[in-house]
A and B are shown apart, each in its own frame.
Chain A
Amino acid sequence: MQIGAYLNSMRDPAGLPAPAFIFDAFLVLTFALHILFVNLVIGSAILIVWGKIKKTEYSARLSSSLSKLLVNSVSWAIVLGVAPLLFIQVIYDPFWYTANTLSAFWALIFLAFIALGFSLIYVYYLSDGKRSVLWIILSLGLFLLAGIVKHSLAITQLYPESWPSFAVRDGLYISTGKYLHGFEIFRFLHFVIPSLAVVGVWLIFYAKYFRGKYENEYLDWVSGLGIRLALIFSVIQGIIGFFWLLTLPGDLNFIRHPVFIVALILSLIFILYLFLSYRSGNLRPTLMAILLGITVSAMSAARESLRIAYFSRVGYNLADYPVNLSLGSLILFLSTFIMGLIVLFYVATVAYRAGKGIREVGAHALGKISVYLLWLWIIFMVSIGLYNTIKG
Chain B
Amino acid sequence: MYPIWDVPYLSSALIVGLISSFHVLPSHLAVGALWVTVFIEKLAYSQNRSDYLDFVKRFTLLLLIFSFVFGSLSGIGIWYSATVSSPRAISALIHNYVWGWATEWIFFLIEIATIYAYYLTLGKVDPKTHIRLGYIYAIGAWISMIIITGILAFMLTPGKWLETGDFFDGFFNPTYFPQLFMRTFLMFGISGIYGLLISSTLNYQTKIDLSKLISKIAFFGMILGGLFSLWYYKKLPAETYQIIQGLPYMKTLIKVSILSFFILLGYFLLVGFIIPKLNNFALSLVIIVIAFIGILSGEGVREGARRPYIINGFMYGNQIIAKDHPALKIKSEVQKFEETGLLTHLGYLPQNLKKITSDNRLEVGRIIALHNCANCHAFTKAGLRPLPKLLAGFNPKSPEDIDAFLSALSAFPYMPPFAGNDEERKAAAEYLFTLVSSKK
Instruction: Give me the interface of A with B, judged by CB distance under 8 Å.
Output: 1, 3, 5-7, 9-10, 12-18, 23, 26, 71-72, 75-76, 78-79, 82-83, 85-87, 89-90, 93, 97-98, 100-102, 104, 107-108, 110-111, 114-115, 118-119, 122, 163-165, 167-168, 171-173, 175-177, 324, 326, 328-330, 332-333, 336-337, 339-340, 343-344, 346-348, 350-351, 353-354, 357-361, 364, 367, 370-371, 374-375, 377-378, 381, 384-385, 388-389, 392
How distant is B43 from chain A, measured CB to nearest CB, in Å? Answer: 20
Residues of chain A lying within 8 A (CB to CB) of residue B344: 1
The answer to whether A13 and B330 have CB atoms under 8 Å apart is yes
| Nearest CB of B to A310, in Å | 18
Asked, given contacts A86-B101, A100-B83, A347-B133, whether A175 binds B374 with beta carbons under 8 Å apart, the answer is: yes
In the complex, what residues of A have CB within 8 A of residue B72's CB? 75, 78-79
Indicate with 1 or 0, residue by residue over B322-347, a CB within 8 angstroms of chain A CB atoms.
Answer: 00000011110000000000001101
Contact of A333 with B112 at beta-carbon distance under 8 Å, contacts A12-B91, A108-B77 already known: no
Task: Point out the residues of chain B lying under 8 angstroms from A350, CB to CB.
Answer: 117, 121, 125, 129, 133
Asked whether any CB of chain A lies closer than 8 Å to the CB of B232, the reply is no
Q: Is the CB of B4 within 8 A of A101?
A: yes
A-contacting 9-mer, from B136-144, B205-213, B240-248: B136-144
Residue of B nearest to A339 (CB): B106
- With a CB–CB cut-off of 8 A, which chain B residues contact A72? 116
A79–B112 CB distance below 8 A: yes
Query: 8 closest Cβ contacts across the A-B interface?
Result: A6-B347, A329-B99, A104-B84, A164-B350, A97-B87, A175-B6, A340-B106, A333-B99
> Do B349 and A173 touch across chains, with their CB atoms under 8 A apart?
yes
The reply to whether B126 and A176 contact each other, CB–CB distance below 8 Å, is no
Q: Which of B257-265, B274-282, B293-301, B363-371 contacts A (4 or more CB under 8 A)?
A: B363-371
Q: A111-B80, A333-B99, A333-B102 are in contact. Are A177 and B5 (CB under 8 A)?
A: yes
What is the minimal beta-carbon distance from A326 to any residue of chain B, in angstroms?
5
In the bound complex, how far is the Cα of B146 from the Cα of A336, in angstroms?
Answer: 14
Interfacial chain B residues near A353, Cβ < 8 Å: 125
Say whether B35 faces chain A, with CB atoms less than 8 Å apart: no
When the two chains form their complex, are residues B2 and A347 in contact, meaning their CB atoms are under 8 A apart?
no
In the bound complex, do residue A97 and residue B70 qualify as a contact, i.e. CB atoms below 8 Å apart?
no
Q: Does A78 lie within 8 Å of B73, measured CB to CB?
A: yes
Contacts of A14 in B (CB 8 A): 92, 95-96, 165, 328, 330
CA distance A15 to B329 in the complex (A): 9
Out of B83, B90, B117, B321, name the residue touching A13 (CB < 8 Å): B321
Which of A173, A374, A384 has a CB less than 8 Å from the CB of B140? Answer: A374
- Give the CA-CA distance A332 to B187 in the complex, in Å: 26
Asked if B177 lies at the interface with its beta carbon under 8 angstroms from chain A, I say yes
B326 to chain A, nearest CB (A): 12
Known contacts A83-B105, A98-B348, A374-B139; A175/B126 CB under 8 A: no
- Given the complex of chains A and B, what is the CA–CA distance between A346 and B133 in angstroms? 10
Q: How far, in Å, is B71 (CB) from chain A's closest CB?
A: 11
**Stretch in B48-56, B168-176, B284-292, B418-426 with 4+ CB within 8 Å of A:** B168-176
When distances are taken between beta carbons in the complex, the residues of chain A under 8 Å from B84 are: 100-101, 104, 107-108, 177
**Could you tell me the distance between the alpha carbons of A175 and B371 in the complex, rounded to whole angstroms?**
10
B108 at the interface (CB under 8 A from A): yes
Tell me whether B103 is interfacial, beta carbon within 8 Å. Answer: yes
Complex: A108 Cα to B3 Cα, angstroms: 16
Please determine whether B110 and A102 come into contact, CB atoms closer than 8 angstroms. no
CB distance from A221 to the nearest CB of B (A): 25
A351 interface neighbour in B5, B64, B117, B331, Cβ under 8 Å: B117
- 18 sampled A-B residue pairs with Cβ under 8 A: A1-B354, A6-B348, A9-B345, A23-B98, A71-B64, A89-B94, A90-B98, A164-B351, A168-B350, A175-B6, A177-B3, A177-B5, A333-B103, A353-B125, A359-B125, A370-B136, A378-B143, A392-B159
B20 interface hit (Cβ, 8 Å): no
Which residues on the A side are within 8 Å of B439 (C-beta)? none
Contact with A along B172-201 (1 / 0, CB 8 A): 100011000000000000000000000000
Contact among A83, A89, A115, A388 for B91, CB-based, below 8 A:
A89
* B-side interface mostly: helix
B7 touches A176 (CB 8 A): yes
Q: For A83, list chain B residues within 8 Å (CB).
A: 102, 105
For B220, the chain A residues whose CB sits under 8 A away are none
Q: Give the distance in Å from the alpha carbon of A327 to the alpha carbon of B103 in the complex.
A: 14
Which chain B residues lie closer than 8 Å to A176 at the CB level? Answer: 5-8
B81 interface residue per 8 A CB criterion: yes
Contact of B3 among A102, A114, A348 (CB under 8 A): A102
What chain B residues lie within 8 Å of A329 (beta carbons)? 97-100, 103, 167-168
Q: What's the nearest-Cβ distance from chain A to residue B372, in Å?
A: 13
A114 to B225, CA, bound (A): 34
Q: B349 to A388, Cβ gap below 8 A?
A: no
Chain A residues closer than 8 Å to B81, beta-carbon distance: 108
A359 to B142, CA, bound (A): 29
Closest CB in chain A relative to B211 CB, distance in Å: 25
> Do residues A367 and B129 form an inter-chain contact, with CB atoms below 8 A?
yes
The yes or no answer to B409 lying at the interface (CB within 8 A) is no
Cα–Cα distance between A93 and B98 once the two chains are bound (Å):
13
Closest chain A residue to B76, Cβ basis: A111
Do the beta carbons of B91 and A93 come within 8 Å of each other? yes
* Assembly CA distance A283 to B90 (angstroms): 48
The residue that B143 contacts in the complex, of A115, A347, A374, with Cβ under 8 A, is: A374
A374 partner, pick from B87, B117, B136, B160, beta carbons under 8 A: B136
Measured between beta carbons, the chain B residues less than 8 angstroms from A392 are 159-160, 169
Contact B370 A86 (CB under 8 A): no
Q: Identify which of B76, B85, B143 contacts A377 (C-beta below 8 A).
A: B143
Check if B348 sits within 8 Å of A167, measured CB to CB. yes
Contact call B348/A348, Cβ cutoff below 8 A: no
Residues of A within 8 A of B124 (CB): 354, 357, 359
Extra A-B contacts (10), CB below 8 Å, given A98-B3, A172-B363, A177-B3: A13-B321, A79-B72, A163-B348, A168-B349, A173-B353, A173-B363, A175-B4, A175-B374, A378-B139, A378-B146
Query: Using a CB-CB cutoff of 8 Å, which residues 373-399 of chain B contact chain A?
Result: 374
The residue that A344 contacts in the complex, of B73, B113, B142, B168, with Cβ under 8 A, is B113
Asked if B68 is at the interface (CB within 8 A of a chain A CB), the reply is: yes
Closest A residue to B321 by CB, please name it. Answer: A13
**Contact assessment for A384 and B6 in the assembled complex, using a CB-CB cutoff below 8 Å:** no
Residues from chain A with Cβ under 8 Å of B120 in the complex: 351, 354
Chain B residues with CB under 8 A of A326: 96, 99, 166-167
Cα distance A149–B168 when bound, in Å?
37
